[in-house]
């Protein structure tokens, strides 16, 4: 077997050094009418699997698109995973035999070109020198630029639209929350006003109650004082009557004592007849005196004294009642004073609470207005972002029109054109749906 490389080997190796997608397009260009068009979607999937295995990243489109540096082939482990990924499960021995069979340039790595040649049983030479299209390179580059610009514009527009939509949703949420807070603040302010009115009413009632209690206490105090004076007067009268009764009793006793003394002398046998006669005359004179006025006066004064004692006792009870009423009235006044202080404090607290609630309402109203302003700004930003998406869509249409014109060329690079359109198709999947505005 000759060690000399075939003439196509170097050129084939050069193709295998191109990025995965470029190799895939090489096949599609060259074999578009010989199975390439039918295999295009499969080739697309293979190329993307190559890119993902080699880069370790999922190939994404739309705003989540991440630029990766495409390489050209896979190592043995990555190649094994590729074959597993497309359903060709092989043992290590079978894998190495398969890779050896596919590794046309014998560099122990697998390129998508080598896999395609082996999979579709193509001639490496025919693959290498397949027709790639006769379009002017400048036109092709311009079309490629248009597609890339459209894609980049769409990526930016989609990203901006997503951010704008997210910001709008956040702003709507913030507006709703601010509205709820404002409603709660209004309710709290109304409740605070009601509480203040009630507290003020109670404070006023407490003030009136205190005034009445003070008046009642003062009246009870005056009543007690008057009753004490009355009781003292009754005691004084009682003392005077008692003194009068004592005097009368002494006078009456002296009268009877004088009679008894004279009777004793009259009956004294040791006295002379003359002396006894004198005493008899004195005794007769005294007995001739009427004792009834003195006795009557004593009885009258004794009855008066008894009545006075009863009046004094009754007055003492009334005085005690007055003192109790006074004490109760004073306690009620103290309780009213305490209640007024508490009511005043409650009214002050309610006034402060209302002030705080009013401030909270004002703050909530400001927050609501700011949230509504932010929502308007966010909605305007979303509208601008959506307009940018529309503009990007126009660029897509223009790019597709350009590619469709290239298809009408005598020898169009059909695979490359399909690849660019397929890429834009993936991009367009992420294009936001515009809601139709209702006609007023």
Residue 238 has pLDDT above 50, yes or no: yes
pLDDT at 400 over 60: yes
Rg of the chain over all Cα atoms, to the nearest angstrom: 64
Token readout for 239 is 């003392």
> Would you tell me the crossing angle of helices 137-266 and 414-428 to the nearest 10 degrees?
10
Q: 158-162, 366-370, 393-397, 429-433 — which one is most confidently predicted on average?
A: 366-370
| pLDDT tens track for 46-75 | 999 999 999 999 998 876 777 889 999 999
DSSP labels, 158-180: HHHHHHHHHHHHHHHHHHHHHHH
Highest mean pLDDT among 53-67, 233-247, 358-372, 420-434: 358-372
Under DSSP, is residue 435 helix (H, G, I), strand (E, B) or coil? coil
Q: Among 158, 155, 151, 138, which Cα is nearest to 396's?
A: 151
Question: Which pLDDT does position 1 carry in this prediction?
Answer: 39
Place of tokens 């990555």: 78
Cα angle 399, 400, 402 (rounded to 5 degrees) comes to 65
Burial group, residue 128, by CB count within 10 angstroms (0-12, 13-18, 19+): buried
Does the predicted model carry a pTM greater than 0.75? no
Q: What is the pLDDT confidence band of residue 435, given thresholds at 50, 70 and 90?
A: low
- Cβ-contact 135, 413 below 8 angstroms: yes
Task: Kindly give the residue spans of alpha helices, DSSP state H, lying in 31-75.
Answer: 36-55
Predicted local confidence at residue 84, as pLDDT: 92
Say if CB 19 and CB 402 are below 8 A apart.
no
Amino acid 434: pLDDT: 66
Q: Give the architecture (CATH level 2) of 1-132.
A: Orthogonal Bundle (1.10)
**Is residue 440's pLDDT more than 50?**
no
Residue at token pair 């895939």: 24
What average pLDDT is seen over the chain?
88
Task: Please indicate whether residue 130 or residue 251 has the higher confidence score (pLDDT).
Answer: 130
Residues 6+ apart with CB under 8 A from 403: 143, 147, 417, 420, 421
Q: Which has the closest alpha carbon to 98: 112, 107, 110?
A: 110
CA 172 remoteness from chain centre = 17
Between residues 104 and 195, which one has the greater pLDDT?
A: 195
Residue pair 291/193 in contact by the 8 Å Cβ criterion: no
Q: What would the pLDDT profile of 262-315 be if each residue is shown by its tens digit?
A: 888 888 888 888 888 888 988 888 988 878 887 888 889 889 888 888 888 888
What is the rounded average pLDDT of the residues 147-157?
84
Spatial distance between the Cα atoms of 56 and 53, rounded to a whole number of angstroms: 5
């Amino acid at each position: 077997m000759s060690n000399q490389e075939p003439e196509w080997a170097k050129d084939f190796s050069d193709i295998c050094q191109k990025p995965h997608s470029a190799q895939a397009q090489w096949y599609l260009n060259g074999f578009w009418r010989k199975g390439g068009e039918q295999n295009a979607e499969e080739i697309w999937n293979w190329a993307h699997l190559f890119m993902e295995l080699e880069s370790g990243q999922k190939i994404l489109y739309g705003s989540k698109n991440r630029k990766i540096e495409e390489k050209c082939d896979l190592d043995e482990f990555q190649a094994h995973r590729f074959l597993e990924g497309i359903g060709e499960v092989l043992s290590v021995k079978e894998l190495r035999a398969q890779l050896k069979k596919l590794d046309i340039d014998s560099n122990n790595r697998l390129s998508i070109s080598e896999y395609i040649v082996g999979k579709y049983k193509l001639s490496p030479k025919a693959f290498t020198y397949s027709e790639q299209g006769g379009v002017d390179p400048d036109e092709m580059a311009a079309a490629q630029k248009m597609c890339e610009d459209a894609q980049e514009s769409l990526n930016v527009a989609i990203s901006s639209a997503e951010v704008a939509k997210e910001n709008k949703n956040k702003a709507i949420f913030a507006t709703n929350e601010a509205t709820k807070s404002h409603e709660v603040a209004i309710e709290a302010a109304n409740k605070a006003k009601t509480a203040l009115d009630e507290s003020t009413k109670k404070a006023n009632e407490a003030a009136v109650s205190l005034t009445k209690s003070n008046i009642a206490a003062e009246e009870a105090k005056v009543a007690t004082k008057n009753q004490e004076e009355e009781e003292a007067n009754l005691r004084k009268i009682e003392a005077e009557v008692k003194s009068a009764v004592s005097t009368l009793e002494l006078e009456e006793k002296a009268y009877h004592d004088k009679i008894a003394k004279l009777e004793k002398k009259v009956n004294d046998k040791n006295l002379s007849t003359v002396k006894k006669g004198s005493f008899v005359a004195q005794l007769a004179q005294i007995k001739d005196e009427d004792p009834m006025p003195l006795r009557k006066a004593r009885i009258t004064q004794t009855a008066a004294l008894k009545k006075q004692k009863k009046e004094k006792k009754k007055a003492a009870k009334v005085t005690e009642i007055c003192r109790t009423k006074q004490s109760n009235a004073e306690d009620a006044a103290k309780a009213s004073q305490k209640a007024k202080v508490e009511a005043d404090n409650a009214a002050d607290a309610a006034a402060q609470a209302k002030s705080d609630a009013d401030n909270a309402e004002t703050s909530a109203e400001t927050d609501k207005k700011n949230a509504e302003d932010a929502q308007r700004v966010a909605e305007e930003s979303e509208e601008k972002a959506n307009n940018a998406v529309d503009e990007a869509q126009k660029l897509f249409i223009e790019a597709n029109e350009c590619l469709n014109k290239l298809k009408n060329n005598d020898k169009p690079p059909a695979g490359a054109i399909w690849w660019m359109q397929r890429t834009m198709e993936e991009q367009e999947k992420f294009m936001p749906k515009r809601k139709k505005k209702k006609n007023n």
